[in-house]
Structure 1
Amino acid sequence: MSIQLRRNFVPNNRRLQVVSSGGGTQSVCMVVLIYLGALPKPDLIVMADTEREASNVFEYHEKYVKPLCDEIGLEYVVIKKSDWVKNDITLASDDDAVLPGFFTEYNGRTPKGDLGKQPGYCSSHWKVEPIRKYLNNRFGERELTKRGVDFWIGMSFDERSRVKYPAGKWQKRYPLFEAEILREQAIQIVKDFGLPEPPRSACWMCPNRHDDEWVWMRENVPEDFEQACKFEKQLQAGFDWLYLHKSGVPIGEVIFTSKPKQVDIFDQFCDTGMCFV
């Protein structure tokens, strides 16, 4: 299989080139394109394990993605969040600062009876921060400050509003966006290569799930759904105004209403743009 990109992606090899894998469709597409030589080979791939990732995501990567990286000598590192940061559901420095964007009664209800939603910062503290600390520890903070690091993020061409280019030591690059690859094209590239469509990367307790995704989890990965039910009860022991579902009903009691459809991942994305890709 050969792929010619519409526009070439050219990295600055004076800087450390790191694929920051979110574990989802676009991240898998980047690996396929690297394997095929359509994208240049980075220095390494790093994926942060939030320790709440949906079971099928790591199963997919272990079976399909890691062997491709091993074959071309591309290091693929998975780091545990808890090895690098103390932040969990709340900030380590503030037990009242809840990081995931759960649904909350504090904002009142919409005319349809749905709860409002609080901002989500878990992606920044569970993924970005651990990866930066890992890289500083491995390569040396002084050396990386001097050299600089480019994070390859899997935003596609239809995600313009999520693409940002902050300057400084830690910079973001978007190979799929810069090559003008749409998300549906990324999925097709993976499928044409011969791999199954990757599961969406999301924690099993992530509130950014549509009803059909909750139903799929309940029916196909019941252990993850059970974990979500137990988690919500534990969460509400300290924050009884927070819920996993917009209805404000415990997730195990929700009567899901949506019908199977193409999931739109862009209507409730995280603030850092790290999740789902």
Structure 2
Amino acid sequence: MEQMHVISLGAGVQSTTMLLMAARGEIEPKPKYAIFADTGWEPLHVYEYLKWLEKEAAKHGVQVIRVSNGNIRDDVYDHLRGDKKRIASMPFFTLDENGEKGMVMRQCTQEYKIAPIHREVRRLLGVGPRGRIPEGAVVMWMGISLDEIERMKPSRKKWMEHRFPLIEKNMDRVACTTWLRRNRYRVPPKSSCIGCPFHDDIAWLELKRNNPEEWMEAVYFDRKIRNLPKLKGQAFLHRSCVPLEEVDLSENQGTLDLFANECEGHCGL
């Protein structure tokens, strides 16, 4: 079986730069496929940019494939109504009756990002769910830049190895945006779910100011998750464990951008 190179596409700055560099022959060998795992709850501007990127990549012989394991927001609502017994948990912040804060175990990246991509790779190889794939048959390109080196992780699959072309090129996020502008490409927006708990206050404030409809989606979602079934305590999107619409986003609350630390190289790249 010929080794297959595939791009894990998050449609953010880093993975977009990596894809376009490969398409233009600046990183070799050029992959035939770039796979975008759609959680169903990305901001509208991400989907708009992705449409352009699909066309641009196709000009250079790279096919962008969208895959999905459902709509993460709708699945939570179905669970709350009792129509869905199990969901992949999101990393909600929790507050118990004693005032202790915690965090829900995160399963969403695995089930809405990683698993659909791996399933599509098997389809492209023509190998079923239980079929054996030779060791090292797939090289998955990950859009992790030099300033995110802590996110580099080896593949857990023997048949897949991870490659980090931006690290190889000594490129950080600034270098990626510089490359995009130098080549007259529009810099893509950050890709992540509208209601991702890993948003920092800057991201929440930007959403509130620039995308009021999506902000209200997140506010409504935050209200609905307050008393999730089988969860001890209340759930919140904001790490302060305050209802999202009540958070003072203009104040420095000592927050960190958890997104980069927790995404495992699949979300928001």
Q: TM-score range by the shorter chain?
A: 0.7 to 0.9
Please tell me whether the aligned partners of residues 75 and 87 of structure 2 are also in contact (alpha carbons under 8 angstroms). no
Other-structure match for 1:118: 104
Change in 2 beyond 3 A, CA 1:145/1:75: same
- Structure 1 residue aligned with 2:143: 154
- Which of 253, 270, 273 matches 2:262? 270
Kindly provide the amino acid, as one letter, of the partner of residue 117 in structure 2: I
Instruction: Write the distance in 2 (CA, Å) between the matches of 1:109 and 1:154.
Output: 39
Question: Once the two structures are superposed, what CA deviation does each residue of 1:219-268 show, in whole Å capped at 9, x if it has no partner?
Answer: 21112111111212222242561100122121122221347xxx975665
Tell me: CA distance 1:98–1:145, structure 2 relative to 1, closer, same or farther (3 Å). closer
Counterpart of 1:32? Answer: 20
Q: Residues of 1 paired with 2:256 and 2:21: CA distance?
A: 24
Which residue is 1:248 aligned to? Answer: 241
Quote the offset at 1:35 in angstroms: 2.8
Code of the aligned partner of 1:38: E
Q: Give the corresponding residue for 1:74.
A: 62
Deviates more, 1:229-238 or 1:134-143: 134-143
Using the size of structure 1 for normalisation, the TM-score is 0.80
Percentage of identical aligned residues: 25
Match of 2:3 among 8, 15, 30: 15
Q: Whole-Å Cα distance in 1 between the matches of residues 24 and 221 of structure 2?
A: 41
Cα distance in 1 between the residues matched to 2:262 and 2:43: 17
SS at match of 1:58: helix
Which residue of 2 is the match for residue 5 of structure 1? none
Q: In structure 2, what is the equivalent of residue 4 of structure 1? A: none
Report if aligned partners of 2:146, 2:171 keep a CA contact under 8 Å in 1: yes
Question: Is the Cα–Cα contact under 8 Å of residues 16 and 150 in structure 1 kept in the other structure?
Answer: yes
How many residue pairs are counted as aligned between the two chains? 252
Change (3 A) 1:144 1:24: farther
Task: Determine if contact 1:107/1:116 at 8 Å carries over to the other structure.
Answer: no
**1:76, CA displacement in angstroms?**
0.6
2:187 pairs with 1:194: no
In the aligned structure 1, how far is the partner of 2:127 from the partner of 2:211?
Answer: 40
What amino acid sits opposite 1:276 in the alignment?
G
RMSD of aligned Cα (Å): 3.0
Alignment-derived partner of residue 33 in structure 2:
44
- The residue matched to 1:23 in structure 2 has which SS? coil
Unaligned runs of 5+ in 2: none
- Listed one character per residue, the Cα deviations across residues 29-64 of structure 1 (whole Å, up to 9, x for unaligned) are 11221232101210201101000112211112223x
